[in-house]
Amino acid sequence: MQDCTPLRGALIGCGFFALNQLRAWQAQQGVAIVALCDSDPRRLTAFAEYQPDAALFTDAQIMLDELQLDFVDIATPTVAHKPLVLMAAQAGLQVICQKPFAATLEDARLMIDACAERGVSLTVHENFRWQAAIRATIEQLRTGSIGTPFFGRVSFRSGFDVYRLQPYLAKTPRFIIDDLGVHVLDVARALFGDVSRLTCETRRVNPAILGEDVATVMLAHDSGVTSVVDFSYATRLHKDPFPQTLLEIDGDAGSLRLLADFRLQVHDMQGGLREVDVSPQVPAWSEAPWSAIQQSVLSLQNQWLDHQRAGTACETSGTDNYNTQALVEAAYQSAETGTTVKPRRWK
C-alpha cells in the first residue's frame, strides 16, 4: 500500500515570487509546508500570515538541524542558491530550487554533484515550459501533427514594468538574458532539443537600467531545427501580451502558431486551419496578469510529486537545466565577443 503521509517541506525565501509557490503547495494533497525561512525577520513575519501554523526561522541551518523534513523549496535570489542547496543535500533532503539555479556553470555542477552523491533529487522551479499553452504545443509536436519541425520562433516581447515589483532588476549588469532569457531559452530546448551553437545580439533601450533589456538569439539545435529566441522589456504595444510567450513552428507537414490569448493554430499541408483553445485552468488564488505563470507553478509541483512517488527525476532536473543555464552563459559570451558560441553540455 502506498504511503499517504504528506511530505514535510520548508520554503526558504519569502520574497516576490515565493507566495505563488506557497499557495500552490497549499493546494497539493500530498504536501505540508511546516516551516518558512527568510533572513529578513520582517519579511518572514509578514509572509507567515499566509501559513500561520508554520515554524519560522531566519537561519536555514538551524531549521534543518531542528526539524524533520523531506524537502526544501528554495525561492531566494540566485546568490544564495549554492550554500542552501549544499546544506539541504548534506541533510539528505530532496531539493527544489528557483531559476536560475546557479550563478555559474561551475556552481551548477557542484550542486548537481552534491545532490547526486547524497542520493537526493534536484529540481529547478519556475520554468515556462510548464505553462498550459506551451505544454499543449509540445504535445502537438510530439504527436507529429506538423511532421518534422525545421524552424521555430520563441518570442516574449513586452513593455511591462518589471522594475516596480523587482527594483533590483534595474541595477543588475546582466538583466534580461539572466532573468527572462533563461525561461524562453528553456522553452526552445523543451520544443526542439539541445543546442550545438548559438549567436546572440543584445541592446539596452531603457537608459535608467544597468543591464540589457532586449536580446535576440539564433540557435542551431541537434535535431536540425533552427530557432530564433527573442525577448524584450522595451516593446510598447497597444495590447501587451505579458506574460505570454508566443510561438511559431514550421514543419514539413504543417505549422503551429501559438498566438496571444492562448490560441493555438494548427495549419495543415492542404491549407486547412484548426484552432485550439489552450487557456490554462487557473488556480482559485491566481490573479491577472500572472495566472498562466501561477498555473505553471502548480503544474511543476504536480509533476514533482508524481516523480517523487515514482522515484524518478523530474523533467526539469538539475542535470537537464544545466544545459539551459549553459545557453544563458553562451548567449552573454556571444553578445560580448560578436561570435557564434558552442554551449557547454552536461556530461
**What confidence tens digit (pLDDT) does each residue in 135-186 have?**
999 999 999 999 999 999 999 999 999 999 889 999 999 999 999 999 999 9
Digit-coded pLDDT (tens) for 275-329: 999 999 999 999 989 999 999 999 999 999 999 999 999 999 999 999 999 999 9
CA 13, 345, 184, 130 torsion-angle sign: negative
Asked if residue 333 lies in contact with residue 104, where contact means CB atoms within 8 angstroms, the answer is no
Residue listed under C-alpha cell 531549521? 63
Q: How far apart are CA 269 and CA 247, in angstroms?
A: 19
Q: Give the integer Cα–Cα distance in Å for 239 and 246.
A: 14
Which residue, among 4, 23, 24, has the nearest Cα to 301 in the 3D structure? 24
CA distance 174 to 328: 10
The answer to whether residue 60 scores a pLDDT higher than 70 is yes
Cα gap 9→141, rounded to integer Å: 35
C-alpha cell at 139: 504535445
pLDDT band at 1 (very low <50, low <70, confident <90, very high): very low
Could you give phi then psi for residue 309, rounded to 5 degrees? -65, -35
| Distance of alpha carbon 170 from alpha carbon 212, whole angstroms | 10
Burial bucket for residue 178 (CB in 10 Å: 0-12, 13-18, 19+): buried
Domains of the chain, each with CATH number or no CATH? 7-125+300-316 (3.40.50.720), 128-279+323-337 (3.30.360.10)
